A = this chain, B = another copy of it.
Amino acid sequence: MRTIEVVFTPALLPLYEAKGKIVVVIDILRATSTMCVAFQTGVKRILPVSSVEECKIFKDFDFIISAERNAVKVEGFDMGNSPFEYQNPLLAGKSIAFTTTNGTKAIKLSQKMEASQIVIGSFLNIDVLCNWLINQNQSVILLCSGWKDKYNIEDTLFAGAVLNKIKQYYIIECDAALSSEILYETSKNDIENIVRKSSHSKRFTLLNSQTDDVKFCLQKNLTPILPMMRGEYLML
């Protein structure tokens, strides 16, 4: 029977056997939420890139270039990592080269560890993700992107929300999964308040953001799409 595990940060992924498993990459604030919005808007493909320097090169090849480090847009790039930026209808049909502090790093590492499939999870597409997972006959790793390899609470809450929906289809022998689900069960009616206490939300408050990215990223099922890696690109 298939298993499901939760990995709290990319730093811990090498301790797990990812080869041949589906890896769901989770970066609620904000990369994987933003990617869902981008595809909902009609973006054709997203190229996840490890470094800011590499990402910049793709400007020469008709890509829109997007880069975020430490929660802010990197100077000289077309776009940052706020989901609101990706609602612009002019993005339809475009290719984006994308690098972020945590989310794109988690995707690249999952590739290196030979995951059978890498898909993008966020509250915005939780139901389509869960239904798709149930229909695959494969073991699953829910990979939280965290913050610079440290644990974060918003990605864990999402892992717990997924487990809450689909755990009966899997064997669970993973304390991180057990904890995530308890955390979600306890917090599900108060998620926004808890996430606002998180270290990353405080980072946003300090940055004095004009948009309420936290509230936006906690909405469930805003889109019916499931971005997944096909070769080097995220596509539908």
B173 touches A151 (CB 8 A): no
Known: A12-B11, A174-B199, A199-B174. A179 touches B150 (CB 8 A): no
Chain B CB within 8 A of A192 CB: no
Return chain B residues, CB-CB under 8 Å to A40: none
Stretch at the interface among A65-73, A74-82, A180-188, A209-217: A180-188
Shortest CB distance A1–B (Å): 16
Alpha-carbon distance between A153 and B198 when the two chains are bound, in angstroms? 20
Return chain B residues, CB-CB under 8 Å to A117: none
Alpha-carbon distance between A79 and B58 when the two chains are bound, in angstroms? 61
Chain B CB within 8 A of A149 CB: yes
Interface residues on A, range: 20 to 34
Which residue in chain B gives the minimum CB-CB distance to A148? B15
Interface of A is mostly: helix
Q: In the assembly, how many copies of this chain are there? A: 2
Chain B CB within 8 A of A113 CB: no
Which residue in chain B gives the minimum CB-CB distance to A186? B186
B187 touches A175 (CB 8 A): no
Chain B CB within 8 A of A194 CB: yes
Chain B CB within 8 A of A202 CB: yes
Give 7 nearest A-B pairs by CB, closest first: A153-B175, A186-B186, A151-B176, A152-B175, A175-B199, A175-B198, A153-B179
